[in-house]
Amino acid sequence: MNAFYTPLAASDSGGILSLLLDADIVVQSVLFILVAMSVTCWVIIFQKIRRISSAQRSTKVFLDTFWNKDQKMENIFASLEEYNDSPVAQVFSKGYTELAKLRRSQSQNNSNSHFDFESSIERAMRRAAADQRTQLESTVIFLATTGSTGPFIGLFGTVWGILRAFQKIGETGQATIQTVGPDIAHALIATAVGLAAAIPAVVAYNFINRRIRVLVQEMDNFSSDFINVIKRIFVAR
């Protein structure tokens, strides 16, 4: 009974922190990298979820206002500061600005080019949508990077820990738990930390990407609808 109790008690008394402090520099470096990647991922996750949630709420309010028959485009454009978080509102801002510029140019030149209206406004809105998408997707790629590389970084720590265990067996000629136990523990901890960093990153990446795609689709739909509106209201005049 005492033979089994003594090693267990010695292991419990040190704790995981003591076990990690006894690891060599390679395993400690692996764990530090994984922990840093995990912390960075969680910061990105909270920031992006907050940003996208705000964008979706602001977009809903903006679209309700825009399609309100009692609202005029000039008034909506003048109150765009209320929708700073909405990517769709920013796309509208670029489109309406381009429309106003083309209308001024048309009145000065006494011309009537339907093609210029449509193509120029469409290009402006497409560029604005691309800029908004880039902002929404910024830093999200780090989640994918962590999800794909985290397990392999942990696996490197695992392999290193096992190699250290075999090295000690060769040096001592013994394969007791006291000899190889710490290195095997280091290997398993590296594996666990790698998975703990990668799994939330992959889940969050898919979740955030899906919500970004919804906003991108909203921008594309609005751009098409806006072009149709100005063709009906302005170009047809």
Where does the pLDDT of residue 11 fall: very low under 50, low under 70, confident under 90, or very high at 90 and above? very low
35 inside domain: yes
Name the one residue in this structure whose structure tokens are 């969680």: 42
First to last CA, the chain: 96
Q: For the chain, what is the domain count? A: 1
97 inside domain: yes
* Mean pLDDT value of segment 43-67: 94
pTM of the model: 0.80
9 inside domain: no
- Does residue 9 surpass a pLDDT of 80? no
Encode pLDDT of 181-203 as tens digits: 777 888 888 899 999 999 999 99
Q: What percentage of the chain reaches a pLDDT higher than 90?
A: 49
Instruction: Quote the CA–CA distance of 42 and 224 in Å, as a whole number.
Output: 36
Encode pLDDT of 77-88 as tens digits: 888 889 999 999
The packing angle between helices 141-172 and 177-230, to 10°, is 170
Range of the domain at 92: 19-235
